[in-house]
Structure 1
Amino acid sequence: MEKFYHFLTLAGIVVYWLLVAGVTLRVVLKRRAVSISLAWLMIIYILPIVGVICYFLFGEMNLGKKRAERAKEMFEPFGHWFNQLNDCNAHSPETMGRHIYKIDQLCNHRLSLPALSGNTLSLQSSPQDILHSVINDIENAQTSIQMVFYIWHPGGLADSVATALIQAAKRGVKVRLLLDSAGSPRFFRSPWYTMMRDAGIEVLQALEVSPWRIFLRRLDLRQHRKIIVIDELVAYTGSMNMVDPAYFKQNSGVGQWVDIMVRVTGPSVNVMSAIHGWDWEVETGRRMLPSLPECSVEPEEVQNPIQVVPSGPGMPEYLIHQVLTLAINQANESVRITTPYFVPSADLVETLKMTAQRGIEVELIIPHKNDSMMVQWASRAFYTELMQAGVKIYEFYGGLLHTKSVVIDRQFCLVGTVNMDMRSLWLNFELTLAIDDETFTQEMYELQQSYIEQSYRVDFTEWQKRSFYSRFLERVFYLFNPLL
């Protein structure tokens, strides 16, 4: 019996060694940033067995076989729809400002998706104003309402939105609602889910979480977009989930979430509708491409083009990351960034450092307290090198600053759903608007300034005095960069 147990022990060691060796080869041979590969190797070797399991669960882009096949088949017909937008007069590269011109070129070459003019934009920063505006547009809907959200959390004005959707469905409006399974579990356990379905609303769980599928699809790949499209005339996107902050995560100790949404009319609404159609087809296999926009933009009108930039499995890799890098590299005066989760890639860190080192004012505004302890400590691991390069870092004390925005030279901005972390920039289904509208951008800049007024700038001298314990936690959680 003793020999048998000895044999089992040796066999277990051999199997484990072969498993680790195989995963190591997989990590090394996979084409990705060296920093990510090194981080994964450290996790695998520092956390025996657990590290290998984590790699199987989170280590590679795995949408699931059926969804991956759909996404591959969808790319050509959606690309054809996008490409037709180049023929309408809302796409006029000759009138574009320097900031968006190259972004239009990038997105057009990689996704056949051009920037379109003739839009109107409204920046909304109060949760009550946002939710009342959405409710009003729903109540005026005539034909269709399409929504996709990462989180729908019942309570407060979010329930009023749900009621408005039910009433719209009862009067014949076609309502389609796509919610991330991991982000919205409370909604799917609430009576609202049943009431909506009883009213005729199509409600789907995106990327459904199931213990039977943990090794078949990457679990932390999430549907993180926030899109509302009403009658293909009005659209919303931004950082705010379908929540009333006064009823959301009140016990987390970070304060109320601070968000924005952008209300859009014009040709870009149809593009956002097409992105919703992409997400719907990935889940269901049913194609719902919208009609092409009218694109009736007169030459004498103010152009203010918008580039809609989607990302996610099936779409060109790292597109939003490329747009962000391109935008920052074009800065001549200033770059101001707000993000709740700051765990950037090595390339993005170098871009920020180089921008500051060439004399551009670079400001980073992030929450003082975060709802993710791991992210909070990992973010601080970047402070020293960024401040040494000249980047100004502000910690916001007015709640959990959840706004995702970048303002370049006070003339051009990016707003949307994308955090400055690896998951958002390299993995999730996300959406960003690149906006060449100086009036709107100035509004965004002034809102960012109000965030700075509720923040404290991190002093480099004082930062250097932090404890060994803090430094240790920063480095430990930095190692988990690929999981954040």
Structure 2
Amino acid sequence: MEQFYHFLTLAGLAFYWILVAGVTLRVVLKRRAVSVSLAWLMIIYLIPFVGLIGYVLFGELNLGRKRAERAKEMLAPFTQWFSQLDDCHAHAPEHFGRHIYRIDELCNNRLGLPALSGNTLHLQRTPQEILNSVIDDIESAQHEIRMMFYIWHPGGLADAVGAALIRAAQRGVDVKLLLDSAGSPRFFRSPWLGQMQEAGIDVIQALEVSPWRIFLRRLDLRQHRKIIVIDNTVAYTGSMNMVDPAFFKQDSGVGQWVDIMVRLTGPTVNVLSAIHCWDWEVETGKREFPPLPECKLSPDQAQHPVQVVPSGPGMPEHLISQVLTLAINQANQSVRITTPYFVPSNDLLETLKMTAQRGIRVELIIPHKNDSLMVQWASRAFYTELMLAGVKIFEFYGGLLHTKSVVIDEQFCLVGTVNMDMRSLWLNFEVTLAVDDEDFTKEMYELQQGYMNQSHPVVLQDWAERPFYYRFLERTFYLFNPLL
């Protein structure tokens, strides 16, 4: 009997090391950033068994067979729909500013998606302003409402939005609601799901979390977009989930979440509607396209070109990351960034350092306290390197600064759902707007200045005197930064 157990032990060890060897080969042969491969190898070898399971669950971009097949088949027809926008008057690259011109080239060549002029944009800064505006637009809806969020958390004004949607559905408006399964568990356990379905609202769980599928699809691949489209005439996107901050994560110790949304009218609305159609088809297999926008512009109408930049499985890889790098590299005077989660790739890190080193003012505003301690410590691992290059870092003390924004030269900006981490830039379904509208950009810059007024600058000399255990935690979580 003892010999039998001895044999089982040896056989188990042999099987384990065969698995380790196989996964090691997979990691080495998989084309990706070297830092990501090294981080996975470290985890696999330093944390026996758990590292292997972690790689199976989170190591590769696995959307699931059905969704992956759909996404692959969808690219050509959606690219064809996008490419029709090239022929409308709203696509006028000869009138584009220098910042958006190159971004239009990139997105047009990779996805067939051009920047479009003739938009109006309104920056909404408070949850009350945002949610009341959404309710008013829902009450005015006549035909169709499309909504998509990572988080829907019942409570406060979010419930008023839900009630407005139910009333809209009861008067015959077609309402489609797509919510991420992992981000909105409280909604799916609440009475709101049944009430909405009873009213005729089509509610779909995106990337459903199920114990039966944990080895079939990557669990941390999430639907992170925030989009509302009403009658293909009004749209919203930005950083805010469908939550009332006064009723959301009150016990997390980071304060209320601080967010923005952008309310749009004009041809870009139809593009955001098409992005919702893309995600709807990924989940349901049902294909719909919005109508092509009215693209006639009067000669005296302001241009205000906007480039919608989507990313995620099935779409051209790293498109938002490329747009971000291209925008920062075009800066002549200043770059100011707000982000809740700052764990940059090596490429983005070098871009920020090089921009500061060529004399551009680079300012980074991030929350002092974060709802993810791992991200908080990993972010701080980059402080010294950035400050030595000339980047100015500010820690925000007014809550969890969740706004995702980049302002270039006080003339051009990026705003949307994208965090400055590799999960957002490489993995999740995300969307950002590249906006060539100087008045709107000045509003965004002033908002960022307000955030800076509630922040403390990180001083290099003081930072160098931080305790040893700070440095230990920073370096520990820095090793995991490609996976955060």
TM value normalised by structure 2:
0.99
Q: For 2:461 and 2:21, how far apart are their aligned partners in 1?
A: 44
State the Cα distance separating 1:416 from its structure 2 match.
0.1
User: Would the aligned equivalents of 1:147 and 1:176 in 2 still touch at CA under 8 Å?
Assistant: yes
State the Cα distance separating 1:87 from its structure 2 match.
0.3
User: Would the aligned equivalents of 2:340 and 2:403 in 1 still touch at CA under 8 Å?
Assistant: yes
Unaligned segments of structure 1, at least 5 residues: none
Q: For 2:300 and 2:31, how far apart are their aligned partners in 1?
A: 48
Tell me which residue corresponds to 2:439.
Answer: 439
User: Would the aligned equivalents of 1:92 and 1:117 in 2 still touch at CA under 8 Å?
Assistant: yes
Tell me which residue corresponds to 1:353.
Answer: 353
Helix, strand or coil for the counterpart of 1:132? helix
Tell me which residue corresponds to 1:40.
Answer: 40
Tell me which residue corresponds to 1:159.
Answer: 159
Tell me which residue corresponds to 2:107.
Answer: 107
Helix, strand or coil for the counterpart of 2:250? coil
Task: Judge which range, 235-244 or 289-298, deviates more.
Answer: 289-298
Q: Which amino acid aligns with 2:291?
A: S
Q: For 2:400 and 2:18, how far apart are their aligned partners in 1?
A: 45
Helix, strand or coil for the counterpart of 1:252? coil
Q: For 1:222 and 1:213, how far apart are their aligned partners in 2?
A: 15
Helix, strand or coil for the counterpart of 2:310? strand
Tell me which residue corresponds to 1:305.
Answer: 305
Q: For 2:103 and 2:300, how far apart are their aligned partners in 1?
A: 23
State the Cα distance separating 1:5 from its structure 2 match.
1.1
Tell me which residue corresponds to 2:471.
Answer: 471
Tell me which residue corresponds to 2:26.
Answer: 26
User: Would the aligned equivalents of 2:337 and 2:406 in 1 still touch at CA under 8 Å?
Assistant: yes
Write out aligned runs for 1:89-100 (5 A).
89-100=89-100
Q: Which amino acid aligns with 1:15?
A: F
Q: For 1:256 and 1:380, how far apart are their aligned partners in 2?
A: 22
User: Would the aligned equivalents of 2:343 and 2:379 in 1 still touch at CA under 8 Å?
Assistant: yes
Tell me which residue corresponds to 1:289.
Answer: 289
Tell me which residue corresponds to 2:272.
Answer: 272
Tell me which residue corresponds to 1:60.
Answer: 60
User: Would the aligned equivalents of 1:60 and 1:218 in 2 still touch at CA under 8 Å?
Assistant: yes
Task: Judge which range, 12-21 or 422-431, deviates more.
Answer: 12-21
State the Cα distance separating 1:274 from its structure 2 match.
0.2
Q: Does 2:427 correspond to 1:420?
A: no
Tell me which residue corresponds to 1:3.
Answer: 3
User: Would the aligned equivalents of 1:310 and 1:432 in 2 still touch at CA under 8 Å?
Assistant: yes
Q: For 1:465 and 1:483, how far apart are their aligned partners in 2?
A: 28
Write out aligned runs for 1:255-404 (5 A).
255-404=255-404
Q: Does 2:96 correspond to 1:88?
A: no
Q: For 2:156 and 2:448, how far apart are their aligned partners in 1?
A: 27
State the Cα distance separating 1:143 from its structure 2 match.
0.2
Helix, strand or coil for the counterpart of 1:162? helix
Q: Does 2:233 correspond to 1:233?
A: yes
Query: Share of identical aligned residues, percent?
Result: 79
State the Cα distance separating 1:71 from its structure 2 match.
0.4
Q: Does 2:124 correspond to 1:124?
A: yes
Q: For 2:462 and 2:321, how far apart are their aligned partners in 1?
A: 32
Tell me which residue corresponds to 1:410.
Answer: 410
Task: Judge which range, 295-304 or 201-210, deviates more.
Answer: 295-304
State the Cα distance separating 1:475 from its structure 2 match.
1.1
Q: For 2:135 and 2:300, how far apart are their aligned partners in 1?
A: 34
Q: For 2:9 and 2:357, how far apart are their aligned partners in 1?
A: 56
Unaligned segments of structure 2, at least 5 residues: none
Cα deviations by residue, 1:128-160 (Å, 9 ceiling, x for unpaired): 000000000000000000000000000000000
Cα deviations by residue, 1:165-200 (Å, 9 ceiling, x for unpaired): 000000000000000000000000000110000000
State the Cα distance separating 1:478 from its structure 2 match.
1.4
Write out aligned runs for 1:443-454 (5 A).
443-454=443-454
Q: For 2:480 and 2:211, how far apart are their aligned partners in 1?
A: 23
User: Would the aligned equivalents of 2:35 and 2:482 in 1 still touch at CA under 8 Å?
Assistant: no
Q: For 2:29 and 2:299, how far apart are their aligned partners in 1?
A: 52
Q: For 2:66 and 2:407, how far apart are their aligned partners in 1?
A: 39
State the Cα distance separating 1:229 from its structure 2 match.
0.1
Q: For 2:307 and 2:436, how far apart are their aligned partners in 1?
A: 9
Tell me which residue corresponds to 1:78.
Answer: 78
User: Would the aligned equivalents of 1:43 and 1:479 in 2 still touch at CA under 8 Å?
Assistant: no
State the Cα distance separating 1:300 from its structure 2 match.
3.1
Q: Which amino acid aligns with 1:460?
A: L
Q: For 2:51 and 2:388, how far apart are their aligned partners in 1?
A: 33
State the Cα distance separating 1:40 from its structure 2 match.
1.0
Q: For 1:458 and 1:291, how far apart are their aligned partners in 2?
A: 49
TM value normalised by structure 1:
0.99
Q: Which amino acid aligns with 1:382?
A: F
Helix, strand or coil for the counterpart of 1:365? strand
State the Cα distance separating 1:449 from its structure 2 match.
0.2
State the Cα distance separating 1:45 from its structure 2 match.
1.1
Q: For 2:30 and 2:357, how far apart are their aligned partners in 1?
A: 33
User: Would the aligned equivalents of 2:306 and 2:434 in 1 still touch at CA under 8 Å?
Assistant: yes
Q: Which amino acid aligns with 2:12?
A: G
Q: For 1:58 and 1:338, how far apart are their aligned partners in 2?
A: 27
State the Cα distance separating 1:413 from its structure 2 match.
0.1
Q: For 2:483 and 2:204, how far apart are their aligned partners in 1?
A: 26
Q: For 1:333 and 1:365, how far apart are their aligned partners in 2?
A: 17
State the Cα distance separating 1:432 from its structure 2 match.
0.1
Q: For 1:383 and 1:5, how far apart are their aligned partners in 2?
A: 52
Q: For 2:194 and 2:67, how far apart are their aligned partners in 1?
A: 26
State the Cα distance separating 1:482 from its structure 2 match.
3.2
Helix, strand or coil for the counterpart of 2:407? strand
Q: For 2:127 and 2:382, how far apart are their aligned partners in 1?
A: 31
Q: Which amino acid aligns with 2:377?
A: W
Q: For 1:317 and 1:18, how far apart are their aligned partners in 2?
A: 32
Q: For 1:15 and 1:208, how far apart are their aligned partners in 2?
A: 32
State the Cα distance separating 1:11 from its structure 2 match.
1.0
State the Cα distance separating 1:14 from its structure 2 match.
1.0
Q: For 2:309 and 2:471, how far apart are their aligned partners in 1?
A: 37
Q: CA RMSD in A?
A: 0.6
Helix, strand or coil for the counterpart of 1:434? strand
Cα deviations by residue, 1:318-365 (Å, 9 ceiling, x for unpaired): 000000000000000000000000011010000000000000000000
User: Would the aligned equivalents of 2:36 and 2:483 in 1 still touch at CA under 8 Å?
Assistant: no
State the Cα distance separating 1:304 from its structure 2 match.
1.1
State the Cα distance separating 1:299 from its structure 2 match.
3.2
